Structure 1
């Protein structure tokens, strides 16, 4: 029996270093039957990754215009051939047993997602060095997930039939595309949180992530999400302040920790050093 193919969709925009660290973490996976779809959202070329990582089945798609991350993910969905789809941001990292664990966990379910460790970092000599980290692990009671989503798409795995039945990610939700996706899927399919922090989510104060987005610009999208799913009035507080709310803190859950805290130096750094030494 042939192993199940997993299509990994990675939107990227001008983050070659981070993308290569993610690819190195995929190279270390104990389950390696993957179709890796890198969608370059009209940024600097990343075509070189196919040659840099010949062991990985990488397909690079370059968008003609910068359409932002949700459109890029949808473009990746069009190319997915796998029985399963896994989502990653270009600056995520996955621990070596992540995909194997997710495939085991999805038996009898349609979408599974891991707990994550969120880490701050600085870049030294082309490598992201973790400076702080904290565990993001919360119970996924359906009623609570309508008030504050603790679903991280990083490293989540789902059956391709979900997209075939529900359609692509909703670009109108933008900042909240993942919350919308979770709510839509959970209405019709079996969703499971896996209590293992096997995915790492990067956050740097100088970075441009959902957590550092301007609250005023995010408000219209939150209102659209609320109207679509009849969620009522939702607060637009800073992400980290929301985590301090008693109602959210009461949802904290136990999880298995796997990361030793060490950085993931990429093959790109080694290649650049080798190139410099030859000059």
Structure 2
């Protein structure tokens, strides 16, 4: 028997009701050559195991609780046998043609290593909120060679990317040292430096917004720009970017950090100087700081 073409990795923790809906959305894909790898991050009962036993094509693995999705995703990547890797969290849902549409894109466009899309938002009860997230003002922003546009500005919606295994072989694993927020941003930023990215401007997944979203804990994102600076330094060392590009992107990270100022002024200012001791004299940074402090009502 040949290896499944797509390995779908689902990290989960103690959300069996949501997980059931996620697994059903994978099962109901119009494209069926896949394996599902559910990595349970130490749920203190057997409910997820019992649920997964009712589905075909599922490999269920429980690990010791790590407190975040990075380690479960990495374990899933190590178990994956597919030529393509997809991720979906245990509270999100794929639309039926998600895999079929994305596979067609990558099969027809070999120069692209990753394809993604925007998402439609649902609430904790699965009701659509009439909101689309992850859609740029212009589709070109998130399409093509995006490395110089992405860092510090936007990321990919986690339920949507389909990635060639050879890209993952270059990029490696999710950062398990980071706080459990922003590890997806850091990972897909690394992807942007090794691969062109294809953007489909229609929702292919439903993103569930509820009180337990990790992404809702924006205070943890204060650390993210410094982790992204490490990514930037690695790209310079590997000669994937020039020094001029390095400093342009570093200033994008400073602007990203400035926008977090209302989440913790002292911590934000400290991190700005760790990013770049000259941040305050760089173009428009001080103006942005004043705007965020006194005029902008909501940030990140």
Q: What is the TM-score when the length of structure 1 is the normalising length?
A: 0.75
Map of 1:213 onto structure 2: 217
Give me the CA root mean square deviation. 2.5
Offset at residue 118 of structure 1 (A): 1.8
Q: Judging changes above 3 Å, is the alpha-carbon distance between structure 1 residues 194 and 33 closer, same or farther for their aligned structure 2 residues?
A: same
Q: Report how many residues are paired.
A: 230
Match of 1:188 among 185, 194, 205: 194
Q: Which structure has the highest strand share of the two? A: 1
Unaligned runs of 5+ in 2: 233-249, 263-291
Q: Whose relative contact order is higher, 1 or 2, with alpha carbons under 8 Å and at least 6 apart?
A: 1
Higher helix share: 2
Q: CA deviation at 1:192?
A: 1.0
**Distance across 2 between alignment mates of 1:42 and 1:130:** 29
| Structural mapping, 1:59-208, within 5 Å | 59-107=59-107, 108=110, 109-121=112-124, 128-130=125-127, 132-136=129-133, 137-138=135-136, 139-140=141-142, 142=146, 143-174=148-179, 175-204=181-210, 206-208=211-213
Q: Among 250, 253, 264, which residue is 1:232 paired with? A: 253
* 2:227 match: secondary structure: helix
Matches of 1:153 and 1:102, distance apart in 2: 15
SS at match of 1:162: helix
Residue 173 of structure 1: CA displacement? 3.7
CA separation of 1:237 and 1:4: change in aligned 2, threshold 3 A? farther
Shift of 1:47: 1.0
Contact 2:142–2:197 (CA under 8 A) maintained in structure 1: no
Could you tell me how far 1:31 is from its partner in structure 2?
A: 0.4
| Regions of 4+ moved over 3 Å | none
Unaligned 5+ segments in structure 1 are 122-127, 246-279
Say which SS state the counterpart of residue 123 (structure 2) adopts. strand
Structure with bigger gyration radius:
2
